[in-house]
Chains A and B, each alone.
Chain A
């Protein structure tokens, strides 16, 4: 196989295999950016993977005060799940427990989707009869009395079925430090891409998984082929010079957003170079039979 490389970094001739997902977006505002972020971070906590968290969620970007519905600082949050009903459940639990409770917060739909999900329409009952509905310019808002004033929440938000989950980059390097530096560079670059999130801690996953396990009851287990401490075991995907592997998982509202995010991440890792960053970049797939979307690395290279 002729080896593909850029700036001294080896690129696997492989692809990321991604799946159709349901997604929604919210704008969370507060009296300051710090509190808008706090509400969003709390709401998107424990939302790294649909396997154990019910949804994958993170902050898409910060929004300047002039661009939000109530002209206060805000953040846009994206939520992904495998079904509409699970997305609805996660949305109302997370907004109800984490945004409604956060000082000074307000919450608005941030996606014009083909269907709608209940937002304020589900949370209004917290008002115990004191909630007030207001309709401005075709949009309905609920005003729910709370102890610091009112929680304002748009009645609904949009749902998209075009969303894609599971875009990814596998970053391989000579040490934990250099591999992490490459992954961090990719995360910074992908942060700037709209409509895409990286749901894992700081955008990075260190425990990539494979499907199945030798144990009953576990449907996923450690990706031993990419564990550097098992390099000698026979079933390895790693070369002799690789001592650390990190993965960036990307969910996007559209396949194009995932491709743009992977492209940005690849460019950043390649720009950093092999001395300070990664030696090799790969991607995770399941042979191409499970996911409808295939993102080939060689098509996304700078």
Chain B
């Protein structure tokens, strides 16, 4: 069956909350029902039919033709199916996601994959700050699933990460993996200053090193670990080059000693 396509008519005049447009929420709805869903975030009412022209199809496969940095909360709490955005998205893409797959061809705003539980997200462009991170007041960030960012990521990627894996192929901003609780953060490009800031547990792999490592991380020497073979196998379907890169010895730093110090940062073995 063909996908349900929402084709963008024109750049929206205000930020839109697209959280209603997920496969699980659209299942069984008729075209007129979908067209009537309200998306506005201001007092001015905007319905799906005003912003998009609809081509009905299988609601388990949603396609947004065209994107906008005003597309907020795409795929919020989605549980199944796929959403593909052929463009960019705004804040909180894939937040609270529980299953399925979200593909964003362009850039994503801050808090992509925020507090995600399960499923997979692929961002073709760059991601904003705090990929996977919690909103203020929440005690943990991403809790499962996998996020792949093909471009760069902003500051504090993987903030308060608790479980799951985030892969960033480009560069990352400062304090990647800040306050990590557990989980795995793999940064293929160069990372900004102070990765793992106040991390308790979890693993950060810095394939190109970082601007400055905090003195509260202690050098544990170079090791060729079996765990990286498992990690390489896991990463392979998402990035073959990265998988090849991972299967080698790494220098292990233990930290952040400013907190419990059971986390680890791996840097190239030099």
A interface list, Cβ under 8 A from B = 29, 69-72, 106, 129-130, 132-137, 141, 143, 149-150, 152
Contact = CB atoms under 8 A, between A and B. Distances in A.
Contacts of A143: 225, 227
A29 B223 CA distance: 18
B262 A71 contact: no
Pick from A72, A106, A132, A149 the residue with the most CB of B within 10 Å.
Answer: A132
B140 to A, nearest CB: 15
A141 B203 CA distance: 14
A143 B262 CA distance: 13
B230 interface: yes
B86 to A, nearest CB: 28
Contacts of B150: none
Pick from A135, A141, A150 the residue with the most CB of B within 10 Å.
Answer: A135
Given A149-B223, A150-B225, A132 B230 contact: no
Contacts of A129: 262
A142 to B, nearest CB: 10
B163 interface: yes
8 contacts: A72-B226, A106-B226, A135-B164, A136-B230, A136-B231, A143-B225, A149-B225, A150-B227
Nearest to A136: B234
Nearest to A70: B229
B229 A133 contact: no
Nearest to B184: A134
Pick from B165, B182, B230 the residue with the most CB of A within 10 Å.
Answer: B230
Nearest to A108: B230
Given A69-B233, A71-B233, A130-B262, A135 B226 contact: no
B201 interface: yes
B72 interface: no
Given A71-B229, A134-B227, A152-B225, 13 more contacts: A69-B233, A70-B230, A70-B233, A72-B229, A134-B203, A134-B230, A134-B231, A135-B164, A136-B165, A141-B230, A143-B227, A150-B223, A152-B227
Chain B: interface secondary structure?
mixed
B226 A152 contact: yes
A231 B134 CA distance: 81
A258 B156 CA distance: 57
Chain A: interface secondary structure?
strand
B233 to A, nearest CB: 7
B184 to A, nearest CB: 7
B264 interface: yes
A137 B234 contact: yes
Interface in B56-99: none
A133 B181 CA distance: 12
A152 B264 CA distance: 16
B233 A132 contact: no
Given A69-B233, A134-B184, A141 B262 contact: no
Contact of A132 (B165, B201, B229): B201
Nearest to B254: A130
Contacts of A72: 226, 229
B226 A70 contact: yes
Interface string B226-247: 1101110110000000000000
Contact of A133 (B182, B224, B225, B233): B182
Contacts of B264: 132
A77 B182 CA distance: 32
Contacts of A106: 226
A217 B242 CA distance: 64
A211 to B, nearest CB: 46
Given A132-B203, A134-B203, A69 B230 contact: yes
Nearest to A152: B226
A135 B231 CA distance: 9
A152 B201 contact: no
Interface in B140-187: 163-165, 182, 184
B119 to A, nearest CB: 12
A154 to B, nearest CB: 9
Contact of A152 (B203, B223, B230): B230
A70 B165 CA distance: 19
A70 B231 CA distance: 9
Nearest to B231: A136
Contacts of A132: 201, 203, 227, 262, 264
Contacts of B225: 143, 149-150, 152
Contacts of B227: 132, 134, 141, 143, 150, 152
Nearest to B247: A71
A66 to B, nearest CB: 11
Nearest to A133: B182
A139 B233 CA distance: 12
Contacts of B163: 135
Contacts of A137: 234
A150 B223 CA distance: 10
Complex A-B, nearest 8 residue pairs according to Cβ-Cβ distance, in ascending order = A136-B234, A70-B229, A152-B226, A106-B226, A143-B227, A70-B226, A137-B234, A150-B225
A143 B203 CA distance: 12
Contact of B233 (A29, A135, A136, A150): A136
A186 to B, nearest CB: 37
Nearest to B182: A133
